Amino acid sequence: MSAPRERARARRFGWAFGGGTAAGAACFALLAGVSPAHGAVSDPSPRPVPVKPVPVDSSSAPPGDAPPQPDLLHRLQEEDDAFFPAELLEGNPSLRDSTLARLDSLGYTAYRREAGTRSGPGALHFGPAARIMDFNRAEGLVAGLGVSGSLAGRHSPRIHLEGAYAGGSKKFRHLEALVLPLVADPDLRLVARASYADRVVPFGASRPAANAVRAFLGGADDRDYLRRRGGSAGVRLEWEGLALTLDYEAARESAPGLHEDFSLFGVLDQPLTAATGGLDRAAVVGVDVGRGAWRGWARHRVAGGALGGDFAYNRTDLELSGRRYLGRQELTLDLTAVHTAGRPPVQRTADLGGLGSVRGFDRRTRLGETALGARFEVHVPYDVLAASGVPVVRDLHLQFVPFADGGRVWNGASDAWLLAPGLGVQYYLGPFERVSYLRLDAAVPLGPDRPEDLRLYLRFARGLF
């Protein structure tokens, strides 16, 4: 807002910023401890001192007897109210009063009974099977219904059930979860939890945010998926931005063995190893940490041995992701590290490559014992196209995101580094979590092992924070 307009607004509000008297400005400075120019305060204002009474004619206006002005708060609110229609501002106090009076006379239980409602604490809530709904290249469309139920209060157990039909495999998929709060203080939360599921899930380092879109566009095939049938039980402790988990998992894992051909760009022709079948029994210890714009988690998985099962291995996962502003530039960094020991199945092997890992390279292009990956992005904050002034183009509001991915696998077929700089262009769709942006990434893989010189990805990207 320009200075004259600001001053006009100030006058309308009855203020005297900037254009006021020196004495007034000095009073601000003295009381606020600031000078108008943010400098050290020096107060040149005169200090009134009584000296000698002088006669004053009674017809003179006594000081301080001006008509009272509404205070700032009221003036601001009145100006705000003037923007909205009267029928909005009048509200409905009679409905509020009668409703509250009825609640007070009946009490909560009788009010609910009179209302004939079945919702509220202790009720069931129905919705789509959000956790297992998917479109994948092994089973096609998986869709169904879910229901959540709990008793009133934060200490009550909560149960969640989902069932869905997989159109490709013509199988029924389901998920059941139970959460039992043991301690539910504001600073400390401890829950016991158990779940069982029969579903197909993606595996490997490359797991884009919206897997269904990847499958639809042809960025996946059945060897990216794993059928998992089994359950887990454990506890989770949350305290001061820190969460500790301890779980026992037992599941029979296998390659789906099916293939849904439908995809926009056909079937990928990349030689990948399918998941190894067998019974996986493991203990998993985890730590989640969140501080401001930084998030990190670690998991250590021990399978086999005394726990039984068909696989005997250890796997440690570390992940750190964060955002930071450098001036107006928003920088994001994702670091992943995986180390395995023993004889892990294919689905637990450390790997690199793919849209969710090192862009520009094939999925699981590197398999090994240890893997380290990094993804760095710069979100250019300036609307360059809008500044161009070119019709249509200026209204596209496309954001440029230069990026660089890199990583390396140890004790695999190759120890060479994978590097791929690139440029992304994204369009904001809405605050839809994992699909907030529609993004086109152009990655330029480097090195002798690069599959091609340029690889394009169309995908959804996460926003806002």
Span 262-281, contacts to other proteins by CB under 8 A? none
- In the chain, the largest separation of any two C-alpha atoms, in whole Å, equals 107
Among residues 108, 172, 239, 265, the one that binds other proteins under rule CB under 8 A: 108
Q: Which of 65, 104, 269, 453 binds other proteins (CB under 8 A)?
A: 104
Residue 152 binds to other proteins (criterion: CB under 8 A): yes
> Between residue 396 and residue 415, which ones bind other proteins under the rule CB under 8 A?
397, 399
Residue placing its CB nearer to other proteins in the complex, 58 or 448: 58
Cα–Cα distance for residue pair 325/453, rounded to 1 Å: 32
- If binding is defined by CB under 8 A, does position 246 make contact with other proteins? no
| Structural contact between residues 204 and 351, judged by C-beta atoms closer than 8 angstroms | yes
Neighbours of 413 (CB within 10 A): 10
Q: Is the peptide bond before 30 cis (omega within 30 degrees of 0)?
A: no
Could you tell me which stretch among 283-291, 317-325, 370-378, 451-459 binds other proteins (CB under 8 A)? 317-325
Mapped onto helix, strand or coil, the DSSP state of residue 6 is: helix
Bridge-partner residues for 368, per DSSP? 350
Closer residue to other proteins in complex, CB, 81/452: 81
Q: Which residue, 56 or 66, is less far from other proteins as judged by CB?
A: 56
Q: CA 207 from chain center: how many Å? A: 16
Nearer to other proteins, 185 or 453 (CB): 185
Three-state DSSP class for residue 217 = helix
Binding mask 33-62 for other proteins (x = CB under 8 A): xxxx-xxxxxxxxxxxxxxxxxxxxx----
81-100 positions binding other proteins, by CB under 8 A:
81, 83-85, 87-89, 91-93, 95-96, 99-100
Which range touches other proteins (CB under 8 A), out of 132-140, 224-232, 376-384, 451-459? Answer: 376-384
Closest approach of other proteins to the CB of residue 405, in Å: 22
395 touches other proteins (CB under 8 A): no
Q: Which is nearer to other proteins, 100 or 413 (CB)?
A: 100
Dist. CA 134–CA 137, nearest whole Å: 10
User: What is the DSSP secondary-structure string of 82-113?
Assistant: TTS-HHHHT--HHHHHHHHHHHHHH-HHHHHH
Looking at residues 1 to 20 of the shown chain, list those that interact with other proteins (rule: CB under 8 A): 6, 10, 15-18
Q: Least CB distance from residue 233 to other proteins, whole Å?
A: 25
Q: How many residues bind other proteins (CB under 8 A)?
A: 96
Closer Cβ to other proteins, 46 or 389, answer by number: 46
* Nearer of residues 294 and 410 to other proteins, judged by Cβ: 294
Q: Can you give the length of the chain in residues?
A: 465
Pick the closer one to other proteins by CB: 93 or 271: 93
Rg (the chain; Cα; Å): 32
Residue appearing with tokens 């000296």: 51
Please list, in sequence order, all residues whose beta carbon lies within 8 angstroms of the beta carbon of residue 129, skipping any fewer than 6 positions away: 143, 144, 145, 146, 162, 163, 164, 175
Binding mask 206-245 for other proteins (x = CB under 8 A): ----------------------------------------
Written as six digits, the tokens of 257 are 């063995």
Which listed residue (19, 157, 257, 381) binds other proteins by CB under 8 A? 381
Q: Which two tokens stand for residue 122?
A: 């202790």
Q: Which two tokens stand for residue 432?
A: 């839809």
Q: Does 119 bind other proteins (CB under 8 A)?
A: yes
The pair phi, psi for residue 228, each rounded to 5°, is: -130, 125
**Binding range to other proteins, per CB under 8 A, among 74-82, 129-137, 258-266, 300-308:** 74-82
Nearer to other proteins, 112 or 295 (CB): 112
User: What six digits make up the tokens of 99?
Assistant: 């409703």
257/230 Cα distance (integer angstroms): 18
Among 22, 325, 393, 454, binds other proteins (CB under 8 A): 325
Helix (H, G, I), strand (E, B) or coil at 149: strand
